[in-house]
Structure 1
Amino acid sequence: MSIKPPFTDLEINRSSKGFYEGHSIEIAVLSKSIMIGLVLWALIWPANASGVLGSLNWQLLETFNSFYVIIVGAFVVFLAVLAIWPSVGKLRLGGDGAAPEFSNFSWFSMMFGAGLGVGLMVFATAEPLSLWGSNPVVLSGAVEANSEEAVRSAFRYTYLHYGFHAWAAYVVTGLSLAYYAYTRGMPLTIRSALTPLFGRLLNGFVGHVIDVLAVVATILGVSVTIGFGVSQFVDGLYAITGVQWIMNLNADVPTPSTVGLLAGLCVIMGLSILSAVSGVGRGVKYLSNLNLVLSLILLLVFVIFGSFAFAMNTYIASLVDYVMNFWNLSFGAYSPQSVAEFTAALPADAVPYAEALRPGATNAWGSFDGFVSGLETDAAALSEATLTAVYAAGEQQRQFGWQAGWTTFYWAWWIAFSPFVGLFLARISKGRTIREFILGCVLAPSLVCFAWMAILGGTAVDLELTGGANGAILSASNTAKLFVTLGEMINGPLLTGVTVMCVVLVLTFLVTSADSGILVMNTIMSGGDQEVGNKHKIVWGLILTAVIGTLIFAAGENKPLDAMRNAMIIGALPFTMIMGLMCVSLVKALYRDGMRNKRHEAEGALAGE
């Protein structure tokens, strides 16, 4: 029986003249309209925009937290099966004769810089330290926060957030796009990945919606990354220069001011636009190579002057712990606990005080001691045994709040980032086998991330654990923790030199992320054409700057990045569903193409006879 050829006649109408020459007017106009609408809303009604985004974000988390957790775990399992499957893993993207365009060093540099560069600079110390004080094991009462026993679980969840799951989200998108682009000769754009399921429907409105959702997710994902990076960039400038106008010094902990963030944003986005117009082969490639070299130098500083022995012990023990708990970490999702459920779990003598007890007992960022000390009136007179039972009754909500605030935030971040990073990975990975693509883009960078977190974060934890830092690192803002750690570790001209290098590294990581995002957005706009005019790169660079700037403005001085985080989680949800369909689509394509190949081989053998 003959097998129909795959559908590859994907038509994306592009303008033949005018400003949008070479671009899909429908995708470009709809994407820009959504982004401009968001900018105007945040600019004209900042308080309303911030409040609505926050409320809608929490409602979505309460409904879709389990969905986010389970589907990202499924992505990891899906890719592992593809890599292990012999006939699939050996398939070469581009055909048997295709050779990789970039060397392994440049390939890894660009992959690393685009995928997690800024996140690793910001959270290398902040993540382990924060999770050392609050993680599911601590919330369950099994270990005490900020204790030696809590170190392993802190790194278990650090590895969860920056390991296989993060890169799997990128690779699901990247592998799908690369397969259709290099095996079937289709446009390198998001809708191509769904052609086995929807066929000709993607030539019209349905295809436009899919590409627009990818653009929106990309802009919001890149915005959060740049927002954190700009905050750390400003912190670094303050550490070097002491300039006060870029900081909010009236808060409990000095943090970058709105003015400082906006000034830093303009500098970084200006450089990003310049880099984007130079193209992947020059700007992005050279900056990515520089990023990797500077990262290795920073790592070497921590190896020499930091707590390297403690870090290595932590790295090995936590890696084993992470692997042993992998299944539960991947699929152990929590649902919110209602007031009625909490009240039903209380001891009888505590039920009259349920309303007063619930906030402290369900606070994912608090502790039992904080819960007890925060009680007032008659509730404070309850016995210790009763209060212990009350705190236990609130564990489900604490676990849900922690998972939604940490793990689900990260999953949404990586998913929102995946159209950008996935398309970029596909762009630089022609000539790689599917197995090489998966192992090279999931396993290898994850192990590097683990080492990075263990060495930088382990040093920060050790300095606090042994009392050397005396709480200085713990009390610093997340984006300042790296610089405070360096200050506790080294001093003098060396500290100044390393701090300057870190600021340069943050800057280059930011420029790499932003210019790669601009290039990817224009690739989607142009229906997969990788050679687009510089004017559109400039326009999208300005739109990205406006989105980030207005969301910073809308959130206000105290929590300038909150509006971006909320918008990103909301924007990531539709694309999460598209990624699930991508997996189904890729399985169908691989199966059908395998059948076609076997048919051709059989026909060739018969002809040879």
Structure 2
Amino acid sequence: MIKPPFTDVVIKKSSSGFYENYCFPIAIGSKCIMVALVLWALLWPKSANNILNSFKWQLLENFNAFYIILFGVFAVFLIAIAVIPSTGKLVMGLPGEKPEYSNFSWFAMMFGAGLGVGLMVFATAEPLGLWASNPEILAQKVEANTIEALRPAYIFTFAHYGFHTWGVFVIAGLAMAYCSYTRGLPLTLRSALTPLIGRYANGFFGHIIDTFGVVATILAVSVTIGFGVSQFLNGVYAITGMEWIMNLSGETPTPSDAGLIAGLVIIMSLSILSAVSGVGKGVKYLSNLNLILSMVLLLTFVIFGSFFFAMTTYGIALVDYILNFLSLSFLAYFPLSEAEFTTALPAVAQPYSNDLFAGATNAWGSYDKFVSGLSSEAATLDEATLLAVYEAGNNGRQFTWQAGWTTFYWAWMVAYAPFVGLFLARISKGRTVREFVIGCVVAPSLVCFAWMTILGATAIDLELSGIANGAISSASNTNKLFITMSYILDGGFLSAMNVVCAVLVLTFLVTTADSGILVMNTIMSGGDQETGIKHRIVWGFVLTGVLGTLLLAAGESNPMEAIQNAMIIGALPFSFILGLMMIAMGKAIYRDHLREKYHAAGLVTAETQL
């Protein structure tokens, strides 16, 4: 007998007072966590930053393989449900229901709320960083910053911004949209787990799931806005030359504390105003503007940048990415112990293993730095032995690099998943499963690839040709885009494009922040898509407070460090929830298929079944 699904999700809300129509435990629980974090960062900034950094590295190292394999499983699952005819045609909504937004607005909103800010910051910074450090370079197969290092650099660039990244958003969004629009459940995180947990979604367990989602959303959005504010200030500095917003004491200009706080206040004020207007107005119109300005920027690089070099890179990198998809999905490295390292050394080098281990396993150094850093006794080893020693440490370098780069990115995406996933679900009612997967995984990934190659390859070509002479590579990540433009444009056109970029960063930031505010309120209101204005304002101030205190806690040397560390820690609990969402989604699709198959035969009972 096939029983109907469990749909009796009841999220208890306050009937009066400030939290009227909101779930009090979720709202208070998430606020208490964030207030505690803010007070800790304010009262003991140095201690908070050091502890967060230490804990972050412990998580990245201990859960490196878990994250890599989890993302691989997500990718395989999405490919399967999109390709299978019976699952791909399922509609997230009632029979005959049409999509709420046009394809243009749908794509514009998912692009703006997804990775718009990240693309502005990292379109040049990511390829350049990986061009200087990637697994092929660590294994000494290619030399850093050469034409040979370009292909592996883009394989991992595409991995960090491609199908794996968007796949984790779609896992969350698809599970929520399916359970909400086809089963009539509230549009919130706990609903996506009802095929597994049933009635437990109504109590304490459901509150914990939603609270984790709110906390992860705040931290992920904070990281994104933190990077974006820094780039916005770089743009304002390039346009106006205002020195007070920048710290000019170092080798390269970086945003000052005063500049960061001023930029943050401007952006969050605009974000709160946009959030108050709702998805159908503020978010929609800003997203459409974002997409138009993005096309202007992209077209500028097509005309004045290294377009042929970029397109050649795009084609080769896309093929390389697809051919290496399985290894990128499932090849996970594990820590290399000193005992294992010593065993792999040539006999003549084993007495010096203590001196050799740290340098040979340092993923952020090089062979030359390893040799130059040896003590006097270890330095007497011949070159062939030293090469063998460095090779013995390769797995250790690969593990540290993967944990500190790929796993860091994917933990960031996990933290971003409740936000982007719920937002994708919010704007995708009436879409089929196949349309959702292709539209929210393949299409934005291809656009991200284009950004990374057209902008990033132009920067690399300027460095390869010697025109930039290291100026782009040595600039801060948030300033690389503006430095790159200064080499391909000049005069009034350069000034105009600096303005376009600054406005684009600003609108992306506002879109990201107001989308985050709306999503947090949707979760805390038990899935209501039209939430109270006063709570949107309050959570806008909470988000501003979290960002401001964590930026100040880290200091001007690395203002993003504390926010990144907190985000990585906050992402771990939600990674387990995402895995359960995927299982729940698979079970729901399978059980609904059976119900449809046997309904005509009268084999469906009135009793509920997960």
TM-score, normalization by structure 2: 0.97
For residue 235 of structure 1, report the CA deviation from its aligned partner: 1.2
Q: 1: CA distance between counterparts of 2:188 and 2:135?
A: 39
Q: How does 1:439-454 map to 2 (within 5 A)?
A: 439-454=438-453
Q: Deviations over 1:235-276 (max 9, x none)?
A: 111111222222222223221122221221111111111110
Aligned match of 2:36 = 37
Q: Deviations over 1:345-380 (max 9, x none)?
A: 222332333233223222212111122223342222
Aligned match of 1:271 = 270
Aligned match of 2:189 = 190
1:379 counterpart = 2:378? yes
Q: Deviations over 1:95-140 (max 9, x none)?
A: 2210111000000000001111000000000000000010011111
Amino acid at match of 2:417: S
1:359 counterpart = 2:358? yes
Q: 2: CA distance between counterparts of 1:145 and 1:196?
A: 49
Aligned match of 1:92 = 91
For residue 603 of structure 1, report the CA deviation from its aligned partner: 4.4
Q: How does 1:108-147 map to 2 (within 5 A)?
A: 108-147=107-146
For structure 2, the residue ranges without an aligned partner over 5 or more in a row are 604-610
Q: 2: CA distance between counterparts of 1:539 and 1:284?
A: 18
For residue 320 of structure 1, report the CA deviation from its aligned partner: 0.4
Aligned match of 1:200 = 199
Q: How does 1:22-421 map to 2 (within 5 A)?
A: 22-421=21-420
Is 412-421 or 347-356 further displaced after alignment?
347-356
Q: 1: CA distance between counterparts of 2:458 and 2:535?
A: 44
Is 590-599 or 130-139 further displaced after alignment?
590-599
Q: Deviations over 1:205-237 (max 9, x none)?
A: 000000001111111111111111111111111
Q: Deviations over 1:67-107 (max 9, x none)?
A: 01100111111011000111111011112210111000000
SS at 2:335 equivalent? coil
Q: Deviations over 1:445-503 (max 9, x none)?
A: 11111111110001001110111111110111111100000011111111111011000
Q: 1: CA distance between counterparts of 2:396 and 2:234?
A: 34
Aligned match of 1:470 = 469
TM-score, normalization by structure 1: 0.98
SS at 2:243 equivalent? coil
Q: 2: CA distance between counterparts of 1:496 and 1:341?
A: 56
Is 506-515 or 549-558 further displaced after alignment?
549-558
For residue 420 of structure 1, report the CA deviation from its aligned partner: 0.5
Contact 2:61 2:400 in 1 (8 A): no
Distance 1:396 1:114, change over 3 A: same
Q: 1: CA distance between counterparts of 2:314 and 2:139?
A: 24
Amino acid at match of 1:558: S
Aligned match of 1:505 = 504
Amino acid at match of 1:5: P
Between the two proteins, the alignment pairs up a number of residues equal to 603
Aligned match of 2:426 = 427
Amino acid at match of 2:7: T
1:565 counterpart = 2:564? yes
Amino acid at match of 1:123: F
Q: Deviations over 1:525-574 (max 9, x none)?
A: 00001111111001111111111111111112211111111111111111
Q: 1: CA distance between counterparts of 2:67 and 2:169?
A: 15
Over the aligned positions, Cα root-mean-square deviation in angstroms equals: 1.1
Amino acid at match of 2:462: L
Amino acid at match of 2:451: W
For residue 592 of structure 1, report the CA deviation from its aligned partner: 1.1
Q: 1: CA distance between counterparts of 2:436 and 2:478?
A: 32
Contact 2:60 2:408 in 1 (8 A): no
Q: 1: CA distance between counterparts of 2:584 and 2:458?
A: 44
Q: 2: CA distance between counterparts of 1:236 and 1:17?
A: 46
SS at 1:432 equivalent? coil
Q: 1: CA distance between counterparts of 2:491 and 2:377?
A: 55
Q: 2: CA distance between counterparts of 1:58 and 1:17?
A: 44
Q: Which runs of 4+ in 1 moved over 4 A?
A: none
Amino acid at match of 2:408: F
1:514 counterpart = 2:482? no
Aligned match of 1:535 = 534
Aligned match of 2:608 = none
Aligned match of 1:551 = 550
Q: 2: CA distance between counterparts of 1:544 and 1:74?
A: 33
Aligned match of 1:607 = none
Q: Deviations over 1:139-159 (max 9, x none)?
A: 111111111111111111000
Q: 1: CA distance between counterparts of 2:532 and 2:92?
A: 27
Aligned match of 1:591 = 590
Amino acid at match of 1:391: Y
Aligned match of 2:607 = none
Is 107-116 or 589-598 further displaced after alignment?
589-598
